[in-house]
């Protein structure tokens, strides 16, 4: 296990030599921080601390394939901040995972936890792999070796992983079991997003999508509008995108465009979301793709983003809304279901155009909020009914959305800047109260 530290916030090198990238995701994330920090007149010494991760762990993961051969993948765990509590953040399995990306995601998790006032810091993990080409047994062996390699830095009071892109509740169960076996005890609080029968929380699977819906409802209420009849386009039809689409449709919105990594679909009259979810989950659709779904016109993901609509939900991956396409976006509200879907340049263009962007650290904070509820339930051994989980989630998100909205109005800044201002101030308050051990 190697521990690395970046000497400059934009200098985290890509750990995947085959991935060519001229943009540091972490570097772009820092730009949003800098704007908010300038509004807070942040002490330069505090700013210097907050723009560097606490710990970056790089590991090699040898595991045996079903044919007997061994592969070695690279894994990461970045713990950005512990100022407000244990690090918290998902584990991503994807071919393009790099140290730079994981550091940016851990950075965002720090502010996401703080903006909804959770007692967590920020963390994130990842393995550079394609889980779609691995058998279930290979995936289990890879996961258990990854868990064994990072277990000295994770735990209920240290760092609490969760599912992310390419990982599932089953993978969380394997991590929990691996750590529990090494510790010779039952440790359900080491991860969240687990299946219900091993300490998971009701409402967790739907939580991020439900949070997106609540954020959109809250923004519309502030504007004196209703969700009924709003035309919505959603990029990404995984857990977040599909649940967002389902809940928005249930509350009266019209879903006019959806997409996955393979294809985009549009239907101005509205897409039957329930049928689309059933279609991708059908046994005869092993790729879980929207390709071939009837009753819609097909288009590219880029074309999908530019469809006429009232609300756009980018719920796929980073850097989808850029300076190249920002002027072509027709939505008046953008709710960031994904982490980092908007570049700083695009964000500036949206602000100039009067587009309301509900930032990722607020719009998709439903998942980490219910992860916090799961962590609490695991530690006390008492589990809540789903109605209780959803009610508590709504209270947390609406209360903190109001705080962000009011801050934006008072300081005449965007919702993103206001969200960062609120989050940064909460982290700074914790950091300065604890003191800096130097």
Q: In what order do the strands lie in the sheet with 122-128?
A: 2-4, 55-64, 70-81, 122-128, 87-94, 159-163
Please state, in angstroms and rounded to a whole number, the distance separating the CA atoms of residues 393 and 408: 22
Helix (H, G, I), strand (E, B) or coil at 354: coil
* Three-state secondary structure call for residue 358: strand
CA-to-CA separations, 263 to 152, 219, 267, 275, in angstroms, rounded: 41, 29, 14, 16
Cβ neighbours for 98, distance < 8 A, ≥ 6 positions apart: 14, 15, 16, 19, 21, 128
Residues, the chain: 438
The CA–CA distances, whole Å, from 136 to 60, 126, 140, 170 equal 20, 18, 6, 10
Nearest residue to 420 (alpha-carbon basis) of 338, 361, 377? 361
In the residue annotation, 124 being an active-site residue is answered as: yes
| Residue of 112, 124, 194, 254 marked active site | 124
Rounded Cα gap, residues 202 and 212, in angstroms: 18
Whether 15 and 98 have beta carbons less than 8 Å apart is answered as yes
Rounded to whole angstroms, how far apart are CA atoms 197 and 127? 26
Write out the catalytic residue numbers.
124
């Amino acid at each position: 296990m190697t521990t690395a530290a970046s000497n400059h916030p934009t200098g985290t090198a890509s750990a995947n030599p085959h991935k060519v990238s001229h943009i540091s995701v972490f570097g772009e994330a820092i730009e949003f921080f800098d704007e908010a920090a300038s509004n807070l007149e942040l002490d330069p010494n505090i700013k210097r601390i907050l723009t560097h991760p606490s710990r970056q762990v790089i590991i090699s993961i040898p595991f045996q394939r079903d044919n007997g051969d061994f592969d070695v993948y690279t894994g990461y765990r970045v713990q950005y901040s512990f100022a407000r509590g244990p690090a918290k953040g998902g584990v991503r399995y994807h071919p393009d995972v790099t140290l730079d990306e994981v550091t940016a995601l851990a950075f965002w998790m720090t502010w996401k936890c703080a903006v909804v006032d959770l007692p967590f810091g920020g963390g994130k993990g990842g393995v550079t792999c394609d889980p779609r080409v691995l058998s279930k047994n290979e995936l289990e062996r890879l996961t258990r070796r990854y868990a064994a390699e990072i277990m000295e830095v994770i735990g209920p009071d240290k760092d609490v992983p969760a599912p992310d892109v390419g990982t599932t509740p089953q993978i969380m169960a394997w991590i929990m079991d691996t750590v529990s076996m090494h510790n010779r005890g039952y440790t359900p609080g080491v991860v969240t997003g687990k299946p219900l029968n091993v300490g998971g929380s009701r409402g967790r699977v739907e939580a991020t999508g439900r949070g997106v819906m609540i954020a959109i409802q809250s923004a519309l209420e502030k504007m004196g509008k209703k969700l009924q009849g709003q035309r919505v386009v959603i990029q990404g039809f995984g857990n977040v995108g599909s649940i967002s689409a389902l809940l928005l449709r249930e509350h009266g919105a019209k879903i006019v465009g959806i997409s996955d990594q393979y294809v985009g679909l549009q239907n101005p009259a509205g897409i039957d979301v329930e049928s689309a979810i059933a279609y991708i989950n059908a046994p005869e659709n092993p790729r879980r793709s929207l390709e071939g779904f009837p009753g819609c016109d097909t288009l590219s993901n880029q074309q999908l983003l530019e469809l006429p609509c009232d609300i756009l939900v980018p719920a796929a991956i980073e850097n989808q809304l850029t300076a190249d396409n920002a002027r072509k976006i027709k939505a008046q509200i953008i709710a960031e279901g994904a982490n980092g879907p908007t570049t700083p340049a695009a964000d500036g263009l949206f602000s100039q155009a009067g587009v309301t962007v509900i930032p990722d650290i607020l719009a998709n904070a439903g998942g980490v909020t219910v992860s916090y509820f799961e962590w609490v339930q695991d530690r006390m051994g008492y589990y809540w009914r789903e109605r209780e989980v959803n009610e508590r989630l709504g209270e947390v998100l609406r209360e903190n959305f109001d705080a962000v909205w009011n801050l934006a109005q008072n300081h005449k800044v965007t919702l993103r800047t206001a969200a960062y201002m609120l989050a940064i101030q909460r982290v700074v308050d914790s950091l300065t109260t604890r003191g800096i051990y130097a």
